[in-house]
Amino acid sequence: MVQPRFRSRTHRRVSVRTPGGTTKRVFKKRKPQKAKCADCKVVLAGVPRERPYKMENMAKTKKRPERPYGGVLCSTCARKKIVSEADDLL
C-alpha cells in the first residue's frame, strides 16, 4: 500500500524505468501553472512550466523570449506598449 500522503491526487503519478529494466510508479510534485500575459492573461509562449529546482539550472535564454517585456507580456501586448512608448517620445 502506498503511503497515505500519496493516495490523494496532490502528487503526479509518473512511470519511471529503472536501471534494472522494470517500470516503477513514482510520485512527483505537480508543475506550476502556465505563465500568463500581465495585460491580456493569454498563455505565454516560450516560457517553460517547471519547478524552481529545474528553472534554477536552466539557461536564462531558455526561460523567456529575449525581447523587451519577454516573459511578462505577450508579443501583441509588448508591440502595443513599445509603439505607445515610442509615440510618447515624439
CB of 56 vs Zn ion, minimal distance in Å: 27
CB of 82 vs Zn ion, minimal distance in Å: 13
40/58 with CB nearer Zn ion = 40
10/76 with CB nearer Zn ion = 76
> What are the residues binding Zn ion (CB under 5 A)?
37, 39-40, 74, 77
Residue 38's nearest CA partner among 4, 7, 76 is: 76
Residue 33 to residues 11, 13, 14, 28, Cα–Cα distance (Å) = 15, 18, 18, 15
